[in-house]
Amino acid sequence: MLGIIKRDLMLLFCNKRDGIFMLFYIPFLILIIDSYDPKWLYLAIIVAYTYIVSITSFHYDMDGKGRNIINSLPINGGTIVFYKYLSTFVYFIMTIVYAGVYLWIINATGIKNVDYFNIEMIIKAIPIIMFTTSIVFPAYFYFEPNIARIFHMIVFIGFFIGMANLGALGDESLVKKIGLFQGKSMVFVSIIMYMASLLLSMKLYQSRDL
């Protein structure tokens, strides 16, 4: 798994465009998500960053260079898929550290009052990340890259519409009323979807002509 994570991070940060995007994405989110409560902005940031880093590796897998690197690893297809799903949680921990330092600097300099560590939102973020990635991961194994990106954009835009609605309206928001980010049902559904997505992706990857 360390080889896959190292390879993904190397491809991400060695790309100047992606590096700049990751550096300035937090200020961008702060500008577009007008939240009455800093905790919802923190939730949006840690979910968005974890999701982006997890999905970005799939973009690189679609080109010849990325595919050659991952195929050179001494592990089978099913193990690669398992590691990629497991690596999402590693990226989540890395995101908490990165976003925490970044937001602490913003908070300490007085630029904006933001949360830089919130246990409640970290717990809420886990099932959201599992839910979103469980939809998109199999799409990258089954469909052509352009179609898979459509799934990615639908999920990503849907998440931000929900966060913008929640940040602006609070308890009166549609997200809050239907209880998307609360209760044990969200946790159970996310776990079931993630496991089913993992098994489906393993089957798709092993039958894929590499």
SS (H, E, C) the chain: CHHHHHHHHHHHHHCHHHHHHHHHHHHHHHHHCCCCCHHHHHHHHHHHHHHHHHHHHHHHHCCHHHHHHHHCCCCCHHHHHHHHHHHHHHHHHHHHHHHHHHHHHHHHCCCCCCCCCCHHHHHHHHHHHHHHHHHHHHHHHHCCHHHHHHHHHHHHHHHHHHHHHHHHHHHHCHHHHHCCCCCHHHHHHHHHHHHHHHHHHHHHHHCCCC
Between residues 123 and 177, the one the model is more confident about: 123
0.85 exceeded by pTM = no
Question: Span 19-39, mean pLDDT?
Answer: 79
- pLDDT at position 117 is 93
Annotated domain spans of the chain: 2-206
pLDDT single digits (tens) 86-122:
989 999 999 999 999 999 999 999 888 888 999 999 9
